[in-house]
Amino acid sequence: MMYNNLDDLSPEDEEELRRLETQISELFALLEKSELQIGLLKDENFQLKAQIQKLQQQPTPTQYKNPQVETIKVPKEVVATVSPTDENIRINKRKCPNCGAAGFSIKEVDDKTRIICYAPRRIYMKKKVCTKCRFEF
């Protein structure tokens, strides 16, 4: 039936038909190319989505790590607040009960009369001496 129709066509129409046919085949080729490109883009899109998922999954552990770091900092702060009180105790201990001199006036020296251990080296009990009044305690 198509053949019969073609037979009825004038040479001009036939030429027009060929032109349209080549255009159609060109368009099909273009469409094929586009479909190929769409396929490539789909693949790329899939890969990018996978990357996004990976990146979205990564921040959660790092966000989880941050509070951990902060919780590590908290005991540090506790230690920091504890150490001054320790120093205060030390300073308080370094106070002459005789004249009340404190700090650098009190020297910590070995009490050679009270040996804690002999080996590997001799360790003596510490005693504090007030440099102001020479009171030992």
- Minimal distance, residue 127 CB to Zn ion, in Å: 13
Residues that bind Zn ion (CB under 5 A): 96, 98-99, 101, 130, 132-133, 135
Q: Which is nearer to Zn ion, 18 or 134 (CB)?
A: 134
- Minimal distance, residue 97 CB to Zn ion, in Å: 8
Q: Which is nearer to Zn ion, 88 or 98 (CB)?
A: 98
- Minimal distance, residue 65 CB to Zn ion, in Å: 54
Closest CA to 98 of 69, 137, 62, 63: 137
Q: Which is nearer to Zn ion, 124 or 135 (CB)?
A: 135
Say how far apart CA 74 and CA 79 lie, in whole Å: 9
Sole residue written with tokens 């009044």: 133
Q: Which is nearer to Zn ion, 101 or 111 (CB)?
A: 101
Closest CA to 136 of 104, 98, 91: 98
Task: Give how far Cα 131 sits from Cα of 53, 92, 135, Å.
Answer: 71, 16, 8
**What b/e readout covers 43-57, taking b as 16+ CB neighbours within 10 angstroms?**
eeeeeeeeeeeeeee
- Minimal distance, residue 133 CB to Zn ion, in Å: 3
